[in-house]
Amino acid sequence: MECPHLNEEFVKINRDFVRKTKIEISAATSSSKTWRCLECASMKENWMCLNCGTVLCGRYENCHALKHSSSRSDHKICISTINYSVFCYKCDDFIVNDTKEMRLDALRQELSSKDDDSASETSTTTSSSSSTSSGVDDPASGGKYQQELISTSSSSDSGWEEMPLGRKLRPRKRTISSDSSENAKRKSLRKVVGLRNLGNTCFMNSVLQSLSNIHEFSCYFSALPAIETAKQKRFYHSRSLKENVDDANVVEELRKVLLNLSQGGDGSKAISPECLFLVIWKVVPQFRGHRQHDAHEFLRYMLDRLHTELQQITLPDGVVVTGKPPTVVKCHTITATESSSTGIFKGRSSIVTSVFGGTLQSEVRCLICGMESKKHDPFLDLSLDIPEKFYKECDEDNQPVCNISDCLSSFTEIEELAETELYYCSSCKCKQKSTKRFWIRRLPNVLCLHIKRFRWSNFFRTKIDLRISFPINSLDMSQFVLNNGPETRRSNSSNNVYDLAAVIVHHGNGSSCGHYTSFAINNGTWLHFNDHTVKEVPPSAVADCKPYILFYIRRDPSKNS
């Protein structure tokens, strides 16, 4: 949003003020060398008033920044001390424009220069207890989240200990451990980094972290060489949104982000996906600005764009990549004939369709003559309704627990089409009442399940904030798969078993507000990704979340016991 309040009345502090404040912080004791709320000393995501420079906590802590703004008519604009996004309390939205003197840009540069001396923005925690509680801070949406996932206290009584990644430690003597796998695991976790929030971009960050932990997908992009345009010039991003959309290359920018995530960034900071986000602005205008967007919509738009771009890319002679880790080997290119015979998307296959692509079979049966029509359609994910019996006319105390299998059963059950959806029967030669049913004809390597939590009610989009249980291991899809198709006949039942790889969670009540975080398993350890923060969590924390998007990976039959 372009804020009309960016003037001298509301923005009074300058770069010199920020630099002086940083010097005061640096001169403080080691335990105080970070931005703290002036009122409650909170070290979580704080905001600096651009009128007086006071640093206060956001709405999800003790609301001191909001109270400060409400008590003073000209103290309405603040800047995040973490991701440097600017928020206007008078407009109640994030700001994308700047003053004529580019004062916000100067403040961001000064604030960002503090990163080298500040505590790491990317952190992980090791568990010492199964108790969990932590919150997600954002000034733009009201209400505190129902439950905190992780506590950031370093006390042994808190249950969790926060530990910055990539911090240079003094060498010290340590006993040699015989458990090499545990050492490898710890070394791998030290490479994990978070993503900066560029201003309500948590929807994008949660998707990127989930995709980065789907190894077949992320390894493909990590092995992909730098993409060049038709003019034989490498693509470098520009902030200008007036460039030709054909020049915008989502593949190249995603490759850079996934490569940085796989390499652990620079070992001390969160990665900024700004270039990728601005490319998305070009190709999908609806994502422009800093409003909250739907993570599932972003995932679908990005995967569709990636598939389109990858079909147009010609790699240099002799360069062939595959998504199967850890080595880069020659992969089989699916021809148009093979593609149509297996129900894959039209045109050449891509890593998108190879990983996420499956095939649905819809069956429509005429209720008058019994004539049946079958159709095959490709899919990248399955959008599942929550059965009404689990959320309508139920007391919270007596509310039945919905399982992901209930949602899948609802997806594949027979339904009678409404009067407005009468099917034209080729046998009766007219539109007749009919039933419709979906089967999964071919399962993908990575099964993406989107739970339809948002629905329209009385012209308002509301959220079904219902707990849905789901298995972390051994999701058996056999009962939902057509058992007489050529694709299913070539595979055995063990290929229908999936294990969870990542989960995207929406916190809050509305689709246009709230916050997105994600869980993903990395080298056998579950991690919680909350923008720039990464923390280790037990499987129980994952099982207790309220999922919005689930990513399941097909289990290798050779690993079944």
Query: Using one digit for the tens of pLDDT, what is the confidence trace for 132-190?
Result: 333 344 443 333 333 333 333 332 222 223 333 333 344 444 444 445 556 655 555 66
Signed CA dihedral, 88, 91, 94, 99: sign only: negative
Which among 139, 119, 115 has a CA at the least distance from the CA of 45? 139
369-421: per-residue pLDDT in tens?
Answer: 988 899 999 999 999 999 888 877 556 666 778 999 999 999 999 988 888 88
Task: State yes or no: pLDDT of 7 exceeds 50.
Answer: yes
Secondary structure (DSSP) of 373-384? EEEEEEES-EEE
Pair 248, 283: CB distance under 8 Å: yes
Give the 3-state secondary structure of 236-303.
CCCCCCCCCHHHCCHHHHHHHHHHHHHHCCCCCCCECCHHHHHHHHHHCHHHCCCCCCCHHHHHHHHH
- pLDDT at position 395 is 60
SS3 109: helix
d(CA 521, CA 213): 7
Residue with tokens 């569709």: 304
More confident residue, 117 or 188: 188
pTM strictly above 0.75: no
Pair 290, 87: CB distance under 8 Å: no
Which among 286, 233, 290, 279 has a CA at the least distance from the CA of 257? 279
Q: Which residues of 286-297 are buried (b: 16+ CB within 10 A; e: fewer)?
A: ebebbbbbbbbe
Residue with tokens 């980094």: 193
Signed CA dihedral, 297, 298, 303, 305: sign only: positive
Question: Of 507, 515, 528, 532, which one is the catalytic site residue?
Answer: 515
Which among 307, 331, 97, 308 has a CA at the least distance from the CA of 199? 97
- pLDDT at position 29 is 56
Active site residue 448: no
Pair 384, 411: CB distance under 8 Å: yes
Biggest CA–CA distance in the chain, Å, is: 86
CA end-to-end span of the chain:
55
Q: What are phi and psi of 285, to 5 degrees?
A: -55, -25
More confident residue, 481 or 339: 481
Pair 279, 237: CB distance under 8 Å: yes
Question: Of 88, 202, 219, 425, which one is the catalytic site residue?
Answer: 202
Q: Which residues contact 278 (CB under 8 A, 6 or more apart)?
A: 237, 239, 241
Active site residue 369: no
Instruction: Give the domains, in start order, of the chain with CATH numbers.
Output: 15-112 (3.30.40.10), 346-559 (3.90.70.10)
